[in-house]
Amino acid sequence: MYKLAICDNCNQFLQNLNKEISIVLKELNWEYEVFIYKNGNIFLQEFQRHKFDLVFLDLEWLGRVGFDITEKLVNWKPYPLIIFCSNNEKLVFDCFKYQPFWFLCKDKYKIALKNIFVTACKKMCRRYSYYNFKNKGEIYSVKISDIQYFDVLNHRIYVHLSQMQSFSFREKIEWIEHEFKEFGFARINSGCVVNLRWIEYLTSKEIILRDGTVFPISRSRKNLVKEQFNLYVGKVI
């Protein structure tokens, strides 16, 4: 069952959004619960208990507090898919730092909701997917979202996980690039493939992961990596 949270102080919008979500999710045959909050602090307290999958945050109401809440959300693992809600499109650029799943214009929420949930379903399926690695007769079953990056050393691929763990096996980096592209991974140089969800930010020369790890981006790949990352960050409605 998926858990959704809506944080907003406008009763009319809360009722309308909740009603429309119910219509869309019944059509999509989702099992779900919706929790409504008018207080950001109460939401944060309950988030730790419910561990929401999707969160709708009203930026115009929360203002700076909305970004503070988001900062805390993305530091919890796994963090939810965040949909920022606003009619102020200028806030889009302030949102990029937090890698929101979507920016929802309130005036167009009915048009966008079905697309949001269809896309969210695909993304959450990937997030909760596991991949089996075989090495010397042993099988490592790893949650794909826990993989931060792959790199190669002495003809071995090293898999680096979010829990500061790693293991290695024999394979080519080209195979890793091809196999994991559909899961949101990008090859950034000759010897490294990174999970885009772990990128804090990128420049024209390097990427920085959330744990502070820095990798150079090869000159020949910088445009492609930027394009892949921008696609991953989300769509602006």
Rounded (10°) angle between helices 109-127 and 11-27: 60
Q: Cβ–Cβ contacts within 10 Å for residue 198, how many?
A: 21
4, amino acid identity: L
Residue 48's pLDDT band, with cuts at 50, 70 and 90, is: confident
Q: Please, which pLDDT band fits residue 142 given cuts at 50, 70 and 90?
A: confident
Asked if residues 176 and 159 have their Cβ atoms less than 8 Å apart, the reply is no
Strand runs labelled E in 59-213? 81-86, 102-105, 130-135, 138-143, 147-153, 156-161, 166-170, 185-189, 192-195, 199-202, 206-209
pLDDT in tens, 189-226: 999 999 998 998 889 899 999 889 999 999 999 999 99
Residues 6+ apart with CB under 8 A from 59: 66, 67, 84, 85, 86, 88, 91, 95
pLDDT (0 to 100) of residue 67: 67
Residue 92: predicted pLDDT: 66
- Least confident range of 15-29, 102-116, 128-142, 210-224: 128-142
Residue 183 confidence (pLDDT): 86
Rounded-to-5 percentages of helix, strand, coil across the chain: 45, 35, 25
In degrees and rounded to multiples of 5, residue 137 shows phi and psi of: 85, -10
Please tell me the predicted confidence (pLDDT) of residue 103. Answer: 85
DSSP 8-state symbol, 228: H
Return the pLDDT at 84.
86
DSSP secondary structure string for all residues of 36-84 = EES-HHHHHHHHHHH--SEEEEEHHHHTHHHHHHHHHHTTSSSPPEEEE
> What confidence category does residue 39 fall into, taking pLDDT thresholds of 50, 70 and 90?
confident
Q: Check pLDDT > 60 for residue 235.
A: no
The per-residue pLDDT for 29 is: 84
pLDDT of residue 163: 78
Cα separation, 19 vs 28, whole angstroms: 15
Would you say the C-alpha torsion 227, 132, 160, 176 has a positive or negative sign?
negative
User: pTM of the predicted model, to two decimals?
Assistant: 0.56
Asked whether residue 236 carries a pLDDT value surpassing 60, the answer given is no
pLDDT bracket for residue 72 (50, 70, 90): confident
CA 49/CA 37 separation, integer angstroms: 14
**Mean pLDDT for the stretch of residues 125-132:** 76
Strand, helix or coil at 138?
Answer: strand
Which has the higher per-residue pLDDT, 66 or 199? 199
pLDDT of 237 above 80: no
Tell me which residue of 53, 187, 227 sits closest to 123, measured CA to CA.
53
